[in-house]
Amino acid sequence: MIEALPPIWEDSNEVIDLLSYNDGHHDGERQLEPRCRMHYVLRLFRYFQPLEQHLDIEERFSLCIRQGYLHRSPLSPDYAMALADGYKAIKSGGYVLPVAYNPTGSGFTIIGLSGVGKTSAVTRVLNLYPQVIVHSRYHDMSLMLKQIVWLKLEFPHDGLVKGLCIEFFGAVDRAAGTNYFELYANRRFTIDLMMQRMEQIARLHCVGVLVIDEIQHLRLAKGGGSEKMLNFLVTLVNKIGIPVVLIGTTPAMEVLQSEFRQARRSSGIQGDLLWNRMKNDDSWDIFVSSMRKNQWTRHKASISDEFKAALYYESQGIVDIAVKLYAMAQIRAIGLQTDILTPDDFRIETWTDKIRA
């Protein structure tokens, strides 16, 4: 499983190049009609500038995926025995404990304010790896297997654990072309039965890492659902060795700290990553200066210190708000045919005065 992965990127500059996306404007686009340029501004929402925390996340995933695959060889007798035990349990309706071994999988948790870029960063890093690797042979042995390197789920907004189970089956089907959703996504099944099937599928496809976003929605789970789901995540790590990465806003800390075992496991050997809004420092300077390429007003504005400071004050260093402000200011400038950006253009009162004028 590890040999099939891309190589470990040793040079941080190479990682930056792989993660970056900054298509920007092309020659002549600034001279097009306003209605066309408004559409081009939306290209800004694909802009991605890697910073120090993104390199940290890439390194974390590289470690946890590879460490999680240790002692999980699909050619080992233990793997075959665990699959057979799981199959018997599903057919009988009971539960058979899988083969015990020393798990090496360990995930981590990313907690931060909404809009700081947690989900975007994780998505960019995961896309460095193929989601599915199809195996047919390993050296001189036959190996018919669809290895799922990563699986990313979003916790349902209503906090229903059963909804997450159903999302799991659908995500595996989309990745591997299977039909687990049709077989197991039946709301008449209990959560315990669904989790048992999730465990078997995760083992069968050698899932490298399971990422669950919006984990703060787990607070809404009723009837002990949150505790049951946290216990299941511990089971994935303890009995199968699959690293679990949890992503959420600050209210998620309340959920994770309510269960000590999960708090310990989610931190793993790498510790939690607490993601705050950006500071007005060199990283902000790099972020805004690089974003300058995505400018479609007729007059190209200079990115001065005053310009960066104004954008920081209005966005408070939250990346999502900063990008949207930069896009909205351009669209308004193009629509009002002023076609130039100034630091004042990020302040809503400035645009109110212009529209009235």
pLDDT tens, position by position, 188-213:
788 778 888 888 899 999 999 999 99
pLDDT tens, position by position, 96-107:
555 544 556 678
Q: Model pTM greater than 0.85? A: yes
Q: Is the pLDDT of residue 148 over 90?
A: yes
At residue 234 the predicted structure's pLDDT band, cuts being 50, 70 and 90, is confident
Least confident window among 16-20, 78-82, 95-99: 95-99
At residue 71 the predicted structure's pLDDT band, cuts being 50, 70 and 90, is confident
Query: 253, 91 in Cβ contact below 8 A?
Result: no
* Vertex 38: Cα angle to 37 and 41 (nearest 5): 85
- For 108, the token pair is 């981590």
At residue 16, φ and ψ (nearest 5 deg) are -60, -45
269 closest CA partner among 71, 30, 63, 128: 63
Calculate Rg over the CA atoms of the chain. 24
Report d(CA 66, CA 352) in Å as an integer.
Answer: 54
β-strand partners of 147: 133
Task: Give the residue carrying structure tokens 């039909």.
Answer: 179
Domain residue ranges of the chain, discontinuous segments joined by +:
12-50+277-356, 52-275
The reported pLDDT for the residue numbered 260 is 44
β-strand partners of 15: none
Report d(CA 232, CA 229) in Å as an integer.
Answer: 5
Half-sphere exposure in the Cβ direction for 101 (13 Å, CA): 22
Q: In the CATH hierarchy, which top-level class contains the domain 52-275?
A: alpha beta
pLDDT tens, position by position, 249-262:
988 887 777 654 55
At residue 158 the predicted structure's pLDDT band, cuts being 50, 70 and 90, is confident
Query: 319, 112 in Cβ contact below 8 A?
Result: no
The reported pLDDT for the residue numbered 120 is 94
- For 156, the token pair is 């349902």
